[in-house]
Amino acid sequence: MANKLQYETSPYLLQHANNPVQWYPWGPEALKKAKEEDKPILLSVGYSACHWCHVMEHESFENSAIADLMNLHFVSIKVDREERPDIDSIYMQAVQALTGHGGWPMTVFLTPEGKPFYGGTYYPPEDRGGMPGFPRVLTAMAEAYLNRKTELANATSGLLEHLENMAKIRSHKEMPYMELIDAAFTQLKQGFDSVEGGFGMAPKFPQPMIYDFLLHNHHSTKNKVALHMVEFSLNKMANGGIYDQLGGGFHRYSTDESWLVPHFEKMLYDNALLASLYTHAFQATGKSRYRKVTEETIDYILREMTTNEGGFCSSQDADSENIEGKFFVWTQNEIDEALDNPDVEIFKKYFNVTATGNFEGKNILNITISSKELARKFNLTEHDFDSTIERCKIILLHFRNSRVAPQRDDKILTAWNGLTLRAIAQASSVFEREDYLEAAINNAHFIINNLLVNDRLCRTYKDGKAKLNGYLEDYSFLADGLLALYEATFDPIWFTQSKKLVDIMIDLFWDPETGLFYDTSKDHEALIIRPREFFDNATPSGSSIAVEVLVKLSRLTSQKRYLSIAETALSSMHQIMARYPNGMGRWLSSLDLYQNPSKDIVVIGQPTDPATKALLKVIHNSYIPNKILAGFNDAIQDSIDDIPLLNYRTKLRGKPTAYVCENNVCKLPVTDSEALYQQIKDL
């Protein structure tokens, strides 16, 4: 018999709808039941692409004996962390405080009032490897709540005070900008893996926001070490198994130090952030390898992660047929049978395919030799070598598509769609891809038409239904994506919509008393604390993107209010940026945008005019991380009053014209792309 999750739309929750556990979604019904029956709450948090979430479900939640224990002693609540980042954030901090670590699946025991008193992550179905079995934990927690309520009340009181303190920023003296940047870079350099790229030991995460900051740093200071750290890491990742060498796109993280063996799930946000990063790396270096990775990643998103309506889906599972990675790995025999000689030998050599394999007897495709070197060994031109590899990839991708594919979580999250919108809009301009621009426009229309309800954003959409209050990150990420789409189209509708969202965001989330944003709106349901995430983790914090968008809007609109809020938030975070740069990548880039001289570029002309396109190509092919780009089609003179940056900008001698200004000082307007290139080069 199905439980209460059967009425949800989240694929993760629906996966548990037929468990023998009497699951409830988070909401008034479950919380009321816990209070009325004086039962503790068992809160289980996970997400659809989480491998160990599936393992715990199969081992424990589908086990009738364990389910009986849960149903007898607890009100069991299942939460999709992607739908409810507020609940996930609050109780993850509690688990980390209690145990020193966190992760998913997350298991937390709460009083009926929602106060945590014990927690952990994955529990096996019986005692194993020093870990207590889940039944033993359930029995102990039920006994503790029944017989030691005073002790638990004292513990929860102290933990709640700790959580409240974590949501506060203590005032610190601001550091000078260059001192802060130098301190952050020094720490990052010390943690850099000079052998394999990336930061720290295994498991290794891509951390694209750190590399974006390093690109900013290189651009501002000409720091060659910063650029080396970026390129070395990006090349290692693109050659490794963490990158899907056939289908494009990145897996979540690498379980080893050399980027070979990934955790095989694919997350939308990772691929959006990495597509943006590789686009920026192409702009900064002009290297075609980075363009190729960007386009393959976006092609993957559009091919496998986009709904017919234009929304971008959340994730793909690590497992297929209940085996992690089965969809993505190969035996040598499979490749021998699919490809003809001599192509097969070239392919196997390039992607390091062997009879013994590199992952449980099979092969994760990865690159250990340069294409130039291998082309010489096979007496091929580079063009012929590349053509051979691409031909083989198409054949094997077709073969792979006949396998049982990993499950796709097809809920549409506003925040993650905002990140992806930004990435695809930028790539459409840099690589002159009309198909990308069409996808970005379709996505923007879809989100605005379906997830903006009565001037309030919803968090999630599935099966024709939008629901849940939008969070700070939903507003800030989408506003940022819409600004990127405005830059790609000069259509004022996207600027206007972005500004509208920012104004709503300030009203709902800004706290002038502390000088920071909250993650939940002022009219959000009351939780044990009002959460506020400062750090840029797997995704940017809602606050760091909010600050970036505010700085951009202040320069486009000349509204001092936007800049004042951004300044206040940056001031509050100064010393944290210097102390913990690994968790402050987007904050550091936002600070760089605010601190460095503004670079404002305006283009006047019809977007379809070849002369306009020539000017835009110069701009988009240049790496100018702190630029503000504005423009309009002078044949359509409406809706530009809100952008003072466009005031008094007209065509020169009737030709499409570019205006370049730095730090409020403008150069002469130009109509020639070469002249524009020289002006941008001098910035």
- Domain termination residue (choose one: 357, 378, 400): 400
| Domain shared by 247 and 350, yes or no | no
Q: Which residues pair with 199 in a beta bridge?
A: 192
636 pLDDT above the threshold of 80:
no
Specify if 41 maps to a domain. Answer: yes
| Domain shared by 334 and 221, yes or no | no
| Domain shared by 190 and 308, yes or no | yes
Average pLDDT over residues 59-85: 97
Using DSSP, state whether 121 is helix, strand or coil. coil
CB 46, CB 106: distance < 8 Å: yes
Burial label for 628, CB within 10 Å (0-12, 13-18, 19+), is buried
Specify if 190 maps to a domain. Answer: yes
Specify if 172 maps to a domain. Answer: no
DSSP 8-class letter at 69: H
Cα separation, 567 vs 168, whole angstroms? 18
Cα separation, 553 vs 238, whole angstroms? 34
| Domain shared by 16 and 123, yes or no | yes
Q: CA dihedral in degrees (110, 112, 114, 119; nearest 10)? A: 0
| Domain shared by 149 and 103, yes or no | yes
Specify if 308 maps to a domain. Answer: yes
Half-sphere CA count of 431, side-chain side, radius 13 A: 30
Mean pLDDT of the chain: 94
CB 219, CB 225: distance < 8 Å: no
Q: Helix %, strand %, coil % for the chain, to 5?
A: 50, 15, 35
pLDDT-derived band at 574 (thresholds 50, 70, 90) equals: confident
Tens digits of residue pLDDT in 539-548 = 999 999 999 9
Count of structural domains within the chain: 4
Cα separation, 567 vs 591, whole angstroms? 9
Cα separation, 174 vs 320, whole angstroms? 51
- Only one residue has tokens 């966190």, namely 102
| Domain shared by 84 and 108, yes or no | yes
- C-alpha 488, offset from chain centre: 21
| Domain shared by 564 and 643, yes or no | no
pLDDT attached to residue 604: 93
pLDDT attached to residue 388: 96
pLDDT attached to residue 173: 66
Average pLDDT over residues 120-125: 94
Specify if 171 maps to a domain. Answer: no
Taking the alpha carbons at both ends of the chain, their separation in whole angstroms is: 67
Helices and strands, counts by H and E, the chain = 25, 21
pLDDT attached to residue 171: 54
492 pLDDT above the threshold of 80:
yes
Specify if 523 maps to a domain. Answer: yes
Using DSSP, state whether 643 is helix, strand or coil. coil
Domain enclosing residue 657, as ranges: 599-681
Specify if 72 maps to a domain. Answer: yes
637 pLDDT above the threshold of 70:
no
Using DSSP, state whether 524 is helix, strand or coil. coil
CB 530, CB 167: distance < 8 Å: yes
| Domain shared by 262 and 250, yes or no | yes
Q: What is the CATH number of the domain that holds 62?
A: 3.40.30.10
Specify if 280 maps to a domain. Answer: yes
Among the listed residues 280, 207, 249, 210, the one whose alpha carbon sits nearest the alpha carbon of residue 623 = 280
- Domain termination residue (choose one: 536, 560, 595): 595
Cα separation, 226 vs 181, whole angstroms? 12
| Domain shared by 335 and 269, yes or no | no
CA distances from 291 to 29, 296, 433 (A): 51, 9, 12
Tens digits of residue pLDDT in 151-171 = 888 888 888 888 888 777 765
Cα separation, 160 vs 540, whole angstroms? 25
| Domain shared by 18 and 54, yes or no | yes
More confident site: 642 or 445: 445
Q: DSSP letters along 284-322, please?
A: HH--HHHHHHHHHHHHHHHHHSB-TTSPBEEEE-SEETT
| Number of neighbours of residue 72 by Cβ within 10 angstroms | 11
683 pLDDT above the threshold of 80:
no
pLDDT attached to residue 635: 63
In our burial notation (b when 16+ CB lie closer than 10 A, e otherwise), range 317-350 reads bbbbeeebbbbbbbebebbeebbeeeebebbbeb
Average pLDDT over residues 674-678: 94
CB 218, CB 185: distance < 8 Å: no
Average pLDDT over residues 526-554: 95
Tens digits of residue pLDDT in 606-632 = 888 999 999 999 999 999 999 999 998
- Domain termination residue (choose one: 343, 367, 400): 400
Record the pTM. 0.96
Q: Which amino acid is at 221?
A: T
Average pLDDT over residues 283-298: 98
Q: Which amino acid is at 429?
A: S
Cα separation, 327 vs 244, whole angstroms? 11
| Domain shared by 434 and 495, yes or no | yes
| Domain shared by 314 and 388, yes or no | no
